Amino acid sequence: MKKLTIDPITRLEGHGKILLYLDEAGGLKGAVLQVPELRGFEVFCRGRRGEEMPQITERICGVCPEAHHLASARALDAAYHATVPAPAWIQRELFYNTYIFADHLLHLVFLGGPDLLLPADTPRESRNVLGVIAAFPELGREVVTVRARAQRILEIIGGRAIHPVFALPGGVARPLTADDRNEIRSHTAAMVALAQTFVTFFHEEVLPDPGYQSLLALPQAHLPTHYLGLVDPNLAPNFCRGELRAVSPDGTELFRLDGAAALQKIAERSEPWTYVKFPYLKEPGWTGFEAGAGSGIYRVGPLARLNVAERMATPLAQEEYERFLDFFGAKPVHATFAYHWARLVEMVQAAEAAAALAEEKGLTGTEIRGKLGEPGAGVGVVEAARGTLVHRYALDEQGLITEVDLIVATTHNAAGIGLSIKGMAEDVVRKNDLDEALLNRIEMAFRAYDPCLACATHFLPGEMPLAIEIYNAEGRLERRISR
């Protein structure tokens, strides 16, 4: 038996390793995605001050600290029975849309982008952001500059660009000034402009590329699952508030509920061979590792959010959304590599939303803290760039944490990612010529999800390893990691 190792998996957040086992004939016997890490946040957060949680849990992931920061604040809002006043919400939403913009941009150019923007035969040494910048110097420079401007907004509102400090139970740390608003405005304008440039670029350079077209059409990367994501009252995606909506593979709404109630609809499947628990929709239930309407497996993230929504919240994003739907002809879109395009549509909405919020009168309002009640338990749900993120806390009477439970995007996607790797690995192995570029295709399959292994290993009882098992052609489990 031959073993191939991809170690470490690169251009994503977190540590990971893929083990592929081949039989004598070179066929795929099994594959394991292993996340060799455990930091134990859910254990050591107990005993900490509740109001510190936005600043502690964000250290789970430096790529999406904003998402943990806000999910945590929302869980605390609920735990303290606080109503967050409008100016605080405007700050939070402006901050959050800016984060979505910046994070999607990071993925499109720095992490996943090189797979997409560079030809498939690009040598490994230049298959990275430097290669992208070399190939598209003008765009590259603009991306770097505008991302820095977005980070500047995060810094103005959040106090720090990475690991912000501003969100508190019931509100935010301080009111913003007129100067703050003026500076923010100048940056949001640049964000909208770049989003438009990127859309044009995508349609001129990326979409027509036969490489991307073939990925979009690849049967192994077509997964008809359920989808889950937050929507606003108009059924447009909202990243940090709203209701969770679930749709089936044919697009029928299964439910639309507030975060805490929606979680009642989800159960977790334990498998004896992995420490990760696989969340699934109780209705239709667990039927094994398979896609389809009969299986409760669902996906989250940009593609899922576009699939649960009926429209986008802003005009330019709506235009791009329509082009997206036209291209695929039907919704939900099940092509895994459409995650990248969905990310772009969302990036446009986030930029436009940020620009609009920068004009809101309340942005500089001084009423920034809601009244807090006695601490109790609470759930906070947001859409991280890569999907639904849930923080659930219980606090004692001193406001110290007694229980922590978190479900991160990559965990929701664990079953889907597993299926995608399997599909891709089989495809690659069938080609029977395991060169490096082909192995990269396996990495691409889950890079499409923009998975965050740093996040995935810190939540749910079941951290290490995130082992996703691959079945062989007969559907028999080939490899497992057992207790």
Partner 1 sequence: MVGKPKIAVYWTGGCGGCDVSFLELGAPLLDVLAKVEIAFWPALVDAKRADVEAFAPRSLAATLINGTLRTEENVEMVHLLREKSQLVVAFGACAHLGGVPGLANLVSREETLRRVYGDGFAIAPPPGGEADDAPPNLLPQAQPLSTEVTVDYVVPGCPPPPALIGLLFDALLSGDLPPAGHVFAHDKALCEECPRTREDRVLTKIVRPHELVPDPEACLLDQGMICLGPVTRGGCGAACPKAGMPCTGCLGPTPHAGDPGLAMISALASLVRAGDEGEASFAGEDAVLDSLVDPVGTLYKYSLPSYVAKRRSG
Choose from partner 1, ligand SF4, none: what does 364 bind? Cβ within 5-8 Å by kind.
none
Mask of contacts with partner 1, 227-266, x by CB under 8 A?
----------------------------------------
Output DSSP code: residue 413: T
Give CA separation, 20 vs 28, 29, 101, 131, 180, in Å. 7, 8, 35, 28, 52
The least distance separating ligand SF4 from the CB of residue 317, rounded to whole angstroms, comes to 31
Q: Which is nearer to partner 1, 317 or 444 (CB)?
A: 444
83 makes contact with partner 1 (CB under 8 A): no
Quick one: which segment of 202-210, 321-329, 382-390, 455-463 binds partner 1 (CB under 8 A)?
Answer: 455-463
What is the amino acid identity at position 392?
Answer: R
62 makes contact with ligand SF4 (CB under 6 A): yes
Q: Which is nearer to ligand SF4, 41 or 89 (CB)?
A: 41
The least distance separating partner 1 from the CB of residue 5, rounded to whole angstroms, comes to 8
The least distance separating partner 1 from the CB of residue 9, rounded to whole angstroms, comes to 8
Output DSSP code: residue 48: S
- Which positions ≥6 away from 407 have C-beta within 8 Å? 279, 388, 389, 390, 459, 460
Q: Is 301 left (phi over 0), alpha (psi -120 to 50) or beta?
A: left
Q: Which is nearer to partner 1, 160 or 431 (CB)?
A: 160
Interaction residues for partner 1, span 89-108 (CB under 8 A): 106
Q: Pick from 8, 105, 85, 82: which is nearest to 385 by CA? A: 105
CA distance 278 to 256: 21
Quick one: which segment of 34-42, 212-220, 343-351, 356-364 binds partner 1 (CB under 8 A)?
Answer: 34-42
Output DSSP code: residue 478: -
Q: Which is nearer to partner 1, 144 or 260 (CB)?
A: 144
The least distance separating ligand SF4 from the CB of residue 13, rounded to whole angstroms, comes to 11
Q: Which is nearer to ligand SF4, 40 or 373 (CB)?
A: 40
Interaction residues for partner 1, span 433-452 (CB under 8 A): 440
13 makes contact with partner 1 (CB under 8 A): yes
For residues 155 and 95, the answer to whether their CB atoms sit within 8 Å is: no
Strand pairing partners for 381? 390
Show the tokens assigned to 60: 């789970």
What is the amino acid identity at position 156?
Answer: I
Single out the residue of 25, 330, 474, 483 in contact with partner 1 (rule: CB under 8 A).
483
Interaction residues for partner 1, span 173-232 (CB under 8 A): 173-174
The least distance separating ligand SF4 from the CB of residue 226, rounded to whole angstroms, comes to 33
40 makes contact with ligand SF4 (CB under 6 A): no
Crossing angle of the two packed helices 65-79 and 137-158, in degrees rounded to 10: 30
Q: How many CB atoms lie within 10 A of CB 161?
A: 18
> How are the residues of the chain apportioned to helix, strand and coil, as percentages rounded to the nearest 5?
45, 20, 35
Single out the residue of 18, 19, 414, 424 in contact with partner 1 (rule: CB under 8 A).
19
Q: Which is nearer to partner 1, 152 or 256 (CB)?
A: 152
Count of residues of this chain found to bind ligand SF4 when the rule CB under 6 A is applied: 3
Classified as helix, coil or strand, 356 is helix
Classified as helix, coil or strand, 482 is coil
Single out the residue of 208, 288, 294, 461 in contact with partner 1 (rule: CB under 8 A).
461
411 makes contact with partner 1 (CB under 8 A): no
Give CA separation, 286 vs 161, 246, 464, in Å. 41, 16, 23
315 makes contact with partner 1 (CB under 8 A): no
CA distance 405 to 337: 31
Concatenated DSSP letters of 260-289:
HHHHTTEEEEE-TT-SSEEEEETTT---SS
Single out the residue of 59, 222, 311, 331 in contact with partner 1 (rule: CB under 8 A).
59
Q: Pick from 72, 425, 455: which is nearest to 276 by CA? A: 455
Single out the residue of 48, 59, 152, 369 in contact with ligand SF4 (rule: CB under 6 A).
59
The least distance separating partner 1 from the CB of residue 51, rounded to whole angstroms, comes to 4
Interaction residues for ligand SF4, span 157-216 (CB under 6 A): 160
37 makes contact with partner 1 (CB under 8 A): yes
Output DSSP code: residue 123: -
Interaction residues for ligand SF4, span 143-162 (CB under 6 A): 160
Query: Pairing between strand 167-168 and 28-34?
Result: unpaired
The least distance separating ligand SF4 from the CB of residue 458, rounded to whole angstroms, comes to 12
Residues that bind ligand SF4 (CB under 6 A): 59, 62, 160
